[in-house]
């Protein structure tokens, strides 16, 4: 990374760390002004995250979407984008407690575990020299961002339900979390957005694959796991509409779905070998 890109990346990481700590403080002490300040710090982190991507774009003379390091930085950016939109539109409290640590972990992994070869700017391999790269990966980032928010909301719903089952409704955590119906409905909305974008990911990937390798579908591990992830979220939406699965059952599927999202990136890239090994 260049010095200015590195500075922007570090600033984003520090800002997200501070936002997590402020979110914990605001939630525990029930200080609304601290929570709002955490939102401002999160926005500053997102701005620095954006600047890091812009600087990389200028240096590489292409969108920074071609390797694992670049995807993770953009993945964090997409999650925070949807998080800020959710905070602005729905004003749900405490979501940052469950979501921002995911962003922190992604950037920490990118900074510590990614090899120098991934962080360095290198020429695109022939298969990546396509306009479909931008479409395919950008929609994946947005899809995964929306699904990450749905995951956080699903976990919050399961936590609140567990407290209710244990008759611990007087606890601070239970009282400070949004209502279960609100969490369930919000989770459903973000799954719907993420599922639509994930459909676009698979379609654009198939078109790109036909241009690059002469086949729309080759059952490459990443293609297969993307399809599995799509089927999980599709099943979640189907059983909700057809059989009325809501609440706990819907939240469990959302958690399983996001686990599949993470495996589609980490598991496929580092444990399985296929056409997407460069990603």
| 227 and 246 assigned to the same domain | yes
Summary mean pLDDT of the chain: 88
88-120 b/e with 16+ CB inside 10 Å = b? eeeebbbbbbbbbbbbbebbeebbeebeeebbe
pLDDT of residue 271: 64
| 162 and 100 assigned to the same domain | no
| 151 and 69 assigned to the same domain | no
| 175 and 275 assigned to the same domain | yes
Question: pTM of the full predicted structure?
Answer: 0.90
| 240 and 221 assigned to the same domain | yes
pLDDT of residue 278: 47
Provide the 3-class DSSP secondary structure of residue 163.
helix
104: pLDDT strictly greater than 80? yes
| 56 and 159 assigned to the same domain | no
Identify whether the C-beta of residue 225 lies closer than 8 Å to the C-beta of residue 181: no
73: pLDDT strictly greater than 90? yes
pLDDT-derived band at 126, boundaries 50, 70, 90: low
Structural domain span for residue 249:
124-279
Instruction: Look at residues 121, 152, 183 and tell me which one is the last residue of a structural domain.
Output: 121
pLDDT of 16-68, one tens digit each? 999 999 999 888 877 778 888 999 999 999 999 999 999 999 998 888 888 88
pLDDT of residue 233: 97
Number of domains in the chain: 2
Mean pLDDT, residues 191-215: 89
Q: How far is CA 66 from the centre of its chain?
A: 17
| 111 and 163 assigned to the same domain | no
| 131 and 257 assigned to the same domain | yes
pLDDT-derived band at 272, boundaries 50, 70, 90: low
């Amino acid at each position: 990374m260049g010095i200015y890109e590195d500075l922007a990346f570090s600033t984003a990481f520090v800002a997200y760390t501070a936002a997590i700590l402020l979110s914990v403080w605001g939630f525990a002490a029930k200080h609304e002004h601290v929570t709002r300040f955490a939102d401002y710090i999160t926005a500053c982190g997102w701005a620095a995250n954006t600047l890091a991507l812009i600087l990389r774009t200028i240096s590489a003379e292409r969108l920074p979407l071609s390797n694992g390091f670049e995807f993770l930085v953009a993945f964090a950016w997409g999650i925070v984008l949807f998080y800020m939109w959710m905070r602005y539109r729905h004003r749900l409290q405490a979501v940052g407690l469950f979501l921002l640590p995911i962003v922190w972990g992604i950037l920490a992994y990118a900074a510590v575990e990614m090899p120098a070869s991934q962080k360095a700017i290198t020429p695109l391999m022939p298969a990546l020299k396509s306009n479909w790269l931008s479409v395919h990966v950008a929609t994946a980032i947005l899809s995964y961002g929306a699904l990450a928010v749905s995951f956080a909301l699903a976990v919050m719903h399961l936590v609140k339900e567990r407290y209710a089952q244990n008759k611990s409704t007087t606890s601070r955590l239970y009282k400070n979390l949004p209502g279960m119906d609100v969490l369930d409905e919000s989770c459903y909305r973000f799954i719907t957005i993420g599922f639509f974008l994930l459909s676009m990911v698979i379609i654009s990937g198939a078109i790109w694959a036909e241009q690059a390798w002469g086949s729309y579908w080759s059952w490459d591990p990443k293609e297969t796991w993307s399809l599995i992830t799509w089927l999980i979220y599709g099943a979640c939406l189907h059983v909700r509409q057809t059989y009325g699965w809501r609440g706990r059952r819907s939240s469990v599927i959302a958690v399983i779905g996001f686990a599949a999202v993470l495996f589609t990136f980490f598991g496929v890239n580092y444990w399985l070998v296929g056409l997407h090994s460069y990603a």
